[in-house]
Amino acid sequence: MTLIQSLSAFTLAATLLTLTPGLDTALVLRTAAAEGPKRAALAGAGILLGCLAWGAAAAVGLGALLAASSLAFTALKWAGAAYLVWMGINLLRKPRDSFESETAPSVSGGGWLWRGLFTNLLNPKVGVFYVSFLPQFLVEGVPAGPYMFGLAAIHALLGAIWFAALIAATQPISRALRRPAVVGWMDRTTGAVFIGFGLKLALARR
């Protein structure tokens, strides 16, 4: 895989995953509707800082591990592939018909930045996802750690664009994301993507 192919594939996959309704989307939507755009933007900024923190942790730890051990690469590859396929199968078998849009009671001012940050940092699924997802986009000859952090930064940038769109059009987007058909379709599509990338990861060579 060339650098351009890797970046293109990751951007496409990360865009789809960013658009899939989840906890982060619910937090920003709820805050925009109940607290206003400024506090929603702070919550979104906190979430993005959490993504970068998880990305840095994954890049530092995985970069060193993958560079040092062929066995670690193989173990991580199969664990990541199994995790992605498992998530994909669950999404295909049991797509949601709604997503939770209620969050904790409102807080004041910059507290929304911390709420967004800790919502992300205290969700271990984000870390597991980065550990499973980022390594399959590595390019031969490119340092693993810095490259994976760069991918996490791209994911954060896509998230920033999505949150801005949510805040700018809270009511229309909120109504669309609450439609059972939309949520189910997004879950099935994401499930298929997870299975595809899981199989691709299982077949990857060092």
> Which of 14-18, 108-112, 128-132, 169-173 has the lowest average pLDDT?
108-112
At CA 62, angle to CA 59 and CA 64, rounded to 5?
100
Q: For residues 57 and 150, is the Cβ–Cβ distance under 8 A?
A: no
Measured CA to CA, the distance from residue 25 to residue 31 in angstroms comes to 10
Question: Which of these, 199, 195, 23, lies nearest to 122 by C-alpha position?
Answer: 23
18 vs 96, residue with greater confidence = 18
pLDDT of residue 192: 82
pLDDT of residue 102: 45
What DSSP character marks residue 104?
Answer: S
Highest mean pLDDT among 11-20, 97-106, 122-131, 166-175: 11-20
What does the pLDDT look like over 182-194, one tens digit per residue? Answer: 777 767 876 787 6
Measured CA to CA, the distance from residue 201 to residue 76 in angstroms comes to 10
- pTM comes to 0.67
What does the pLDDT look like over 50-79, one tens digit per residue? Answer: 999 988 988 887 656 655 666 766 776 677
HEC sequence for 74-98: HHHHHHHHHHHHHHHHHHHHCCCCC
What does the pLDDT look like over 194-206, one tens digit per residue? Answer: 688 678 767 765 5
Q: In what helix (H) or strand (E) does residue 13 lie, and over which residues does it extend?
A: helix 3-19
175: number of Cβ within 10 Å? 10
Question: Which of these, 95, 94, 72, 107, lies nearest to 206 by C-alpha position?
Answer: 72
Measured CA to CA, the distance from residue 105 to residue 125 in angstroms comes to 23
pLDDT of residue 173: 65
Residue with tokens 């709604």: 98
Q: Which two tokens stand for residue 131?
A: 């550990």
Residue 105 has pLDDT above 50, yes or no: no
C-alpha distances in Å from residue 180, one per residue of 19, 26, 94, 206:
15, 15, 13, 41
Percent of the chain with pLDDT over 70: 73
Sign of CA dihedral 78, 188, 30, 166: positive
What does the pLDDT look like over 19-36, one tens digit per residue? Answer: 876 767 877 877 776 677
Measured CA to CA, the distance from residue 122 to residue 23 in angstroms comes to 12
